[in-house]
Amino acid sequence: MYSGTQLFLIYSGLFFAVLVFSLLVNSLFMRFARTLGIREKDEMLVRWSSSSKPAFGGIGFFILFLVCFTVHGVLFPGETSSALRPELLGLLAATSLGFLMGLADDAYNTRPLLKFLVQVICGVILVASGTSIDVFESQGLNTAITILWVVGMMNSINMLDNMDGITTVVSIAILVAAGMCMIVSDAMDPVYMVLIVGTTAALCGFLFYNWHPSRMYMGDTGSQFLGVLLAFIGIRFFWNASSPMGAWEPERQIIAPVIVFLLPIVDTTVVSINRIMRGHSPFIGGRDHTTHHLGYLGLSDGQVALTFIGISLVNVFLTFVMFRFIGSWANLHTVIFVSYALLTFGALLLLTHRTKPPTA
C-alpha cells in the first residue's frame, strides 16, 4: 500500500509522462499524416475556421487512454485484476465503439442515423456492464435516462467542438472535477485516477496544438470518444455520488452533473432552441453557438476560450463546495445551484439574441 506522498509522486509522474507522449504523438501525426481527417468544404459541416486542418487529435487520446489501462497494472501490481471489473470492461468497449464511429465519420461522413444508433449502443453497453444512473426507484426509468445521457453527451461534446480549444478545456475541467471529488470524498480508486490523470495529460498535450490558432482538430474521432468517457465519468462520480454523510439525495445527484457539465448542456440547449425557433433542424451545423456569439460580441478566439476556462473553473469550485462543505443537502442549496445554472443559461441565451454575425 502506497503512502500519500508516494501516490502523489506516482500520479504526478504519470501526468508528465503522458503529457510528453501526447506532445510527441501529436507531433508525429502532424508530420506524417497531414491528410488524415482533413475535411473538404461541405454544406453540412460548418466550422468557425475556414481553413482545413488535420482532425486526428482523438487518435492520440484513444492510444494514451489504452496505454493508461495497461500502465495501471504496472503502477499498482497488486490491483491488476481491478481493471477487469465489468464496468471498466464496458467502458473500454463503449469508448472503443465511439472511437471507431468517430473515425469512420471523419473519413467517410457517415449517415446521422447510423451515428445515432451507435451512440445508443454505447449507452446500452454501459448499462449492461453495470454503469447506470441510480436516482429513481424505477430501473426502467434509470436505464432510459442513462442512455439519453450518453447519447446527449456524445452529441453535446461533438457540437461544442466548433472553435479552437473549447471542447479541450471544458473536458479537462470535467476530468479535474471528477478527480477532485475522489480526493475530497476519500474514495480514491487507483484505476479511475490513472485513467483521469492520463486522459487529462493527453488533453493538455493536445491543447498545445489545438489552442488558437490551432494546427489540429480532435474531429469526431476525439469528440465521440470523449463523449462516452465523460458520460461514464458523469454517471460514476456525479449522478451516483453519495453525499458526505452517505445519504441518498436525489437533488444533489441531479444538480451535481448539471453544474459539472453546465457548458456543454447550455450550449447544446441554447443552439437547439434557437434553431427550432427559426424552423431549422438542431442537427444541421452553423455558426450560431454560444462561442460564436461571444466572437460576434468582439472577443478574439483566445478570449472566448479563456471565458470558457473561467466559467469551467467556477463550475469546478462549486462542485468542490458541494462535495466538501455541504454535508446534508437542503432546499436552500437547491435554490443557489439551480439559480446559478439558470443565470448562466439565461445570459448565454440572451447573448445569442443580442449579437449578430458581422455583415460582409
Residue 247: helix, strand or coil by DSSP? coil
Residue 189 CB-half CA count within 13 A:
15
Local confidence pLDDT in tens for the 360 residues of the chain: 788 899 999 999 999 999 999 999 999 888 775 544 454 444 334 455 545 667 778 999 999 999 998 898 888 887 777 778 999 999 999 999 999 999 998 888 788 899 999 999 999 999 999 999 999 889 999 999 999 999 999 999 999 998 999 999 999 999 999 999 999 887 788 999 999 999 999 999 999 999 999 888 898 999 999 999 999 999 999 999 877 776 778 899 999 999 999 999 999 999 999 999 988 888 777 889 999 999 999 999 999 999 999 999 999 999 999 999 998 899 999 999 999 999 999 999 999 999 988 765
Angle at 54 between CA 51 and CA 55, to 5 degrees: 110
- Round to whole Å and give the CA distance between 300 and 287: 15
Is residue 45 included in any domain, yes or no? yes
Is residue 7 included in any domain, yes or no? no
Is residue 8 included in any domain, yes or no? no
Q: What are the C-alpha distances in Å from 291 to residues 139, 185, 288, 360?
A: 37, 34, 8, 20
> 21: how many CB neighbours lie within 10 A of its CB?
18
**Angle between helical axes of 112-128 and 139-160 (0-180°, round to 10):** 130
> 302: how many CB neighbours lie within 10 A of its CB?
13
Is residue 3 included in any domain, yes or no? no
Is residue 207 included in any domain, yes or no? yes
Helix (H) or strand (E) holding 145, with range, is helix 139-160
* Contact residues for 48 (Cβ-Cβ < 8 A; gap 6+): 162, 163, 164, 287, 291, 292, 295, 301
Q: What are the C-alpha distances in Å from 266 to residues 220, 290, 311?
A: 20, 9, 12
At 111, the amino acid letter reads R
Task: Tell if the pTM clears 0.85, that is, is over it.
Answer: yes
Residue 34 is predicted with a pLDDT of 54
CA 209 to chain centre: 18
3-state SS of 49-69 is: CCCCCCECHHHHHHHHHHHHH
Give φ, ψ of 247 to 5 degrees: -90, 160
Asked if 199 and 60 touch (Cβ cutoff 8 Å), the reply is: no
Residue with cell 436505464: 143
Is residue 37 included in any domain, yes or no? yes
Residue 84 is predicted with a pLDDT of 80
User: Following CA atoms 161, 32, 94, 136 in sequence, which dihedral angle do they give, to the nearest 10 degrees?
Assistant: -20
Residue 45 is predicted with a pLDDT of 41
- Round to whole Å and give the CA distance between 315 and 256: 10
Is residue 5 included in any domain, yes or no? no
> 321: how many CB neighbours lie within 10 A of its CB?
15
Give φ, ψ of 244 to 5 degrees: -55, -25
Residue 3: helix, strand or coil by DSSP? coil
H-type helices in the chain, by residue range? 4-32, 57-75, 86-108, 112-128, 139-160, 166-184, 190-210, 219-234, 250-260, 262-277, 290-296, 301-324, 331-354
Residue with cell 454535508: 327
Tell me the residue range of the domain where 185 lies: 13-354
Residue 57 is predicted with a pLDDT of 86
Q: Read off the C-alpha cell for 335.
A: 435554490
Q: What is the count of structural domains for the chain?
A: 1
